[in-house]
Amino acid sequence: MKVYQRPPTVSESIVRQLKEDIIKGIYLPGERIKILDLAKRFGVSQTSVREALKVLQKSDLVTEIPRKGYFVTELSLEELMDIWKIKEELWSLAFSWFAERATNEQIRKAKECVHQFREAYLENDVDKAFEANFALTDVILEGCGSRKLVSLLQSIEDQAKRYRYLSLEYEDNLRISSQYFAELIRAIEKRNVQKTEQLIREYIRFSGSVLEKNYNNIISKMRKRPRAPVTQ
């Protein structure tokens, strides 16, 4: 039986697009987001835009400054390292529970995402790798069996994704990530919870160290990277 899914509201559609824009650098850290411009871009009311920005504010993707408006949140290195420590604890739970609870079909889906990531690494395609990475984590969240954990991780990943996206270009990140994902899948297929937890902790520490070492370059690249035209 097919489950009915209601179409997204106007503000939900705006939230989804703005998240992608912030992650990909169309809107830069510290940049003001103008409500009137967004209303024109999406062909909606300013009220719908404000509702969307309030949602993004809860995820700390944008910050409201009284009498000045909304700005893309810029995270300091210290704040990012705090986020990565939290990620380590939460993802270790999610991957461990996935190894314990996931169906064989969910494990098959995860394995396919790892295969797609490896293909992206071999093609040196950062965008494709990024999509495969987060397709994998979506499958992990689906199979971990905890709605509360899913909610916590989705919130924190909203903040981390834009930095993760650019960090993939550094320190042989694609190759090492591909190796870790392959090992993780082998551990999950064996239902080896302890090994799965060990590997995901090691991997998140590795990705955090890449971000820490290259933070200044990443911030500089965010500000200099060519920006795609914002169109509806």
State the pLDDT at residue 178: 97
Amino acid making up residue 196: T
Q: Which of 55-69, 105-119, 135-149, 200-214 has the lowest mean pLDDT?
A: 55-69
Of 50, 74, 98, the residue at which a domain comes to its end is 74
Q: Per the domain annotation, does 89 fall within a domain?
A: yes
Burial 96-112 (b: 16+ CB within 10 A, else e): bbbbeebeeebbebbbe
In angstroms, rounded to a whole number, what is the distance separating the alpha carbons of residues 4 and 214? 45
Mean pLDDT (whole number) for 47-69: 92
Mean pLDDT (whole number) for 105-109: 98
CATH of the domain at 68: 1.10.10.10
Of 140, 133, 139, the closest CA to residue 90 belongs to 140
In angstroms, rounded to a whole number, what is the distance separating the alpha carbons of residues 169 and 63? 28
Mean pLDDT (whole number) for 131-157: 94
State the pLDDT at residue 7: 64
In angstroms, rounded to a whole number, what is the distance separating the alpha carbons of residues 213 and 77? 10
The pTM of this model reads 0.83
Confidence of residue 227 (pLDDT cuts 50, 70, 90): low
In angstroms, rounded to a whole number, what is the distance separating the alpha carbons of residues 208 and 206? 5
State the pLDDT at residue 231: 46
Is the per-residue pLDDT at 1 higher than 70?
no
Mean pLDDT (whole number) for 103-125: 97
Q: Per the domain annotation, does 3 fall within a domain?
A: no
Domain identity same for 157 and 92: yes
